[in-house]
Homo-oligomer: A and B are copies of this chain.
C-alpha cells in the first residue's frame, strides 16, 4: 500500500494538506494537492498546492513571496491527507496572520488571536 501513497483516487483527485510550522508546531493552514502538486513539492522541497478556486497549481508564495520550505512530510492512515512540516517565510494566511487559524472560540463567539505579521494590502504587491 505504502507505494501508492498518497492516494489520489478520491472523487476530486485531491488530498488535503495540513501545514504545520516545523519549529513551533503551530498549525498554519489547510490546502489541497493533486498528484502534480505533491510530486513537485517532494521534488523541490517547496510547497505547491492545487487551488480549487483557481483550478490550477498554486506555488505557495508565488505572488506573496511567503514560501514554505518543507522539512518533513507525512501521510495519514487512509492516504487521503498529508501533513507538511514547513519553515514559513512571512505569513501563511492571505489576511496577513501567521496562521489561518487566528480566530479562537469563546463562550458564544470568536476572538482574534495575535496581530497580522504583515499588512494584507501589501502582500500581493510583492512579487518573487
Give the interface of A toward B (CB within 8 A). Answer: 2-3, 5, 16, 18, 20, 24-27, 29-30, 42, 72-78, 81, 83, 93-95, 97, 100-105, 109-110, 113
Contacts and interface: CB of A to CB of B under 8 A. Distances in A.
The complex is assembled from copies of this chain, and their number is: 2
A68 to B, nearest CB: 15
A107 B58 CA distance: 24
Nearest to A41: B105
Given A77-B94, A77-B95, A110-B5, A105 B72 contact: yes
Most buried by B among A2, A27, A100: A27
Contacts of A97: 77
A2 to B, nearest CB: 5
